[in-house]
Homo-oligomer: A and B are copies of this chain.
Amino acid sequence: MIEPILRPARGPGRWDGVAELRYKEEGAPTFRDVTRRVLFEDAGGAQWRYFEIGPGGHTTLERHDHTHAVMILRGAGRCLVGGTIFKVDERDLVSVPPMTWHQFRAAPDAPLGFLCLVSVERDRPQLPTADQLAQLRADAAVDSFIRA
């Protein structure tokens, strides 16, 4: 796909010629209120996406070998990366290393929209097994944060 030279923004997180997509093809209830937009199919070898989580929603708790390079573009929320929960606001940069459990959650009263760069060629996300989930839940702060 060749993108047009200019695609004007139409409000926060909306662009002419950029379709709203399902977050994941699978309908499994591992996430809540998340949309996906592909801004550039191939930005120098990376796929440039925009995700938006509605207030109170969350992405899937997962890990994979590929990295995420993230910039918060809209709203506020928190994210788990590894064993740590971070508060995130507009323009903050988040780096998710390989094989690191991560989950993004929007604030209760605000959406959380973020840019996320991944390699065009990448592995599929892994969901935690029951044992891995128990390990994560051993930390009280993580236990109360995650939705799985």
A: which residues have CB within 8 A of B? Answer: 2-9, 12, 15, 18, 39-40, 42-48, 66-67, 69, 71-73, 81-82, 84, 86, 88-97, 115, 117-120, 122
Bound state CA distance, A47 and B7, in angstroms?
22
**A121 and chain B: residue at smallest CB distance:** B45
**CB within 8 Å for A40 and B69 given contacts A4-B95, A46-B46, A92-B7:** yes
A72 to chain B, nearest CB (A): 8
Q: How many copies does the complex hold?
A: 2
User: Is chain A's interface secondary structure helix, strand, loop, or mixed overall?
Assistant: strand
Is B44 in contact with A93, judged by CB distance below 8 angstroms?
no
Return 11 A-B CB contacts under 8 Å, by A number: A2-B97, A4-B95, A5-B84, A5-B94, A5-B96, A6-B81, A6-B94, A18-B93, A42-B67, A43-B67, A44-B67
**A45 and chain B: residue at smallest CB distance:** B45
**CB within 8 Å for A91 and B15 given contacts A5-B82, A40-B69, A117-B40:** yes
Bound state CA distance, A111 and B47, in angstroms?
27
- Among B6, B89, B90, point to the contact of A86 (Cβ < 8 A): B6
